Chain A
Amino acid sequence: MERLTPEPAAAVVPKAPGRWQIATVTAIAVETPTVKSFTLALPIWMPHLPGQHYDVRLTAPDGYQAQRSYSIASSPLTSGEIQLTIDRLDDGEVSPWFHDVVEVGDKVEVRGPFAAYFVWSGEQPALLLGGGSGVVPLMAMLRHKRLTAPELEMRLIYSVRLATDVIYAAELAAGEETQLTYTRVPPPGWEGHSGRVDAAMIAASGVDPARGTAFACGSNGFVESASRLLLDAGFAPERIKTERYGPTG
């Protein structure tokens, strides 16, 4: 089989490049009213595994610093740059800075790529479950699959609140992989699923729980309920990988 990822699965972890570097913002895309994607050109680029993240560090004039982690949204085949997709939390420190301040040409200090657990190394069939901005690392997986092995079985179950909350809407609509659900208000005329992700949606994905690997990412509540549904559907715990963003209630 062709190599799907930059590193063979056995030696899956690239050497963590610990060094901070100064990236340049080369493009900004407005995804939804609260989400933007930032393309960063990196002086020292290395291929990542879909699912990995970068750390971002902001520095104030008095030396105060803030660090946060952001998943990579782009495929590792997009060399020289990465895309980060950031949801604006109104009372947050780092995400509003990206939304309210950053323009094309600005510099951002980053280091990565990091972590090697929540990564897709070509497993199939793969079932991806994303809630809100949890879709970001799953998009890296989906983009990479489309570029390297479009015939692989990969499905995405994507939960959003409203029609306007769908990140990467046009790109997702260009393929057949995605099942959307709207938890608050579906768009007019919507005939697909609405409400929270449930057992029926997982069954409808067609991914065989006996063979499939599942990746769930989102808020803690989303990931807890998704992983319970996956267990109930028959996925073995070691084939349910999760990534949780942000705090819990």
Chain B
Amino acid sequence: MSEFFSRGFGGRRRPPEGKADRIPPGQYYEAGFPVLTAGPTPTVETGSWSFSVDGVVGAARSWSWDEFQALPAEEVPCDIHCVTKWTKLDTSFRGVSVDTLLADVEPLGGYATAFSYGGYTTNLALEDLTDGKAWVVTEWEGEPLPSEHGGPARLLVPHLYFWKSAKWVAGLRLMDHDEPGFWESNGYHMHGDPWREERYWND
């Protein structure tokens, strides 16, 4: 506990009863779903959409929207944590596990860059993407994912800060080394674990 107190501060936005242990350090409970994007919201049509897995792999793969819809999807109940300080509890997305997408590609490197329509990139270690930890989702709380939240499809990696959950995702590029993506080149942490408060470079 810090020894410093802020005079006259009581704290009004304490997490709801029984949920405090689900709010990572420095985060606050937010009932809404704020938007964070570096530039304009791109328009991505499902007709020309595709998702690919390439880079250092045994066999690259790509799916059209219809092919992607035919993959086994699952409901993903989760909490999400944005580096701008809000945490949203008990939300849910629906999509395809990254394990399913990697099943036949044979990754040959330990890292990946998620890349998006509009040029956004973010880096992830393969171990943060596999074993039921990451999905490519197309629905949020039962509705098609809105474009401002990354629709038609975004990556979902709920155990890391939400900038790692690339909006408008177009694919994963497997790499043999860890290369900073967009926010990671702009002062944000390479890994981004909210429970260790890995927000900025030196954290």
Chain A residues in the interface with B (C-beta under 8 A): 13, 15-18, 22, 57-61, 63-69, 92-93, 97, 101, 106-109, 114-118, 220, 224, 227-228, 230-231, 237-238, 240-242, 244, 246-248
The 4 closest A-B CB pairs, nearest first, are A227-B40, A18-B202, A101-B8, A93-B13
Report how far A247 CA is from B29 CA in the complex, Å: 12
Indicate whether A57 sits within 8 Å of B26 (C-beta atoms), given known contacts A227-B40, A240-B39, A248-B33. yes
Give the A-B pair count, Cβ closer than 8 A.
128
A-B contact pairs, 14 of them (CB 8 A): A16-B202, A59-B2, A60-B5, A60-B11, A65-B11, A66-B13, A97-B8, A101-B8, A117-B187, A224-B41, A227-B41, A238-B119, A247-B33, A248-B35
Determine the residue in chain A with the shortest Cβ distance to B86: A247
Q: A109: which of B4, B85, B183 is its contact (CB, 8 Å)?
A: B4
Chain B residues in the interface with A (C-beta under 8 A): 1-2, 4-14, 25-28, 30, 32-42, 84-86, 118-119, 148, 182-183, 185-188, 199-203
Q: Give the chain B neighbours of A224 by CB distance below 8 A.
A: 40-41, 148
Asked whether B9 lies within 8 Å of A97 as measured between CB atoms, the reply is yes
Q: Give the chain A neighbours of B11 by CB distance below 8 A.
A: 58, 60, 64-66, 93
Asked whether B6 lies within 8 Å of A237 as measured between CB atoms, the reply is no
A212 to chain B, nearest CB (A): 15
B4 to chain A, nearest CB (A): 6
Report how far A230 CA is from B187 CA in the complex, Å: 26
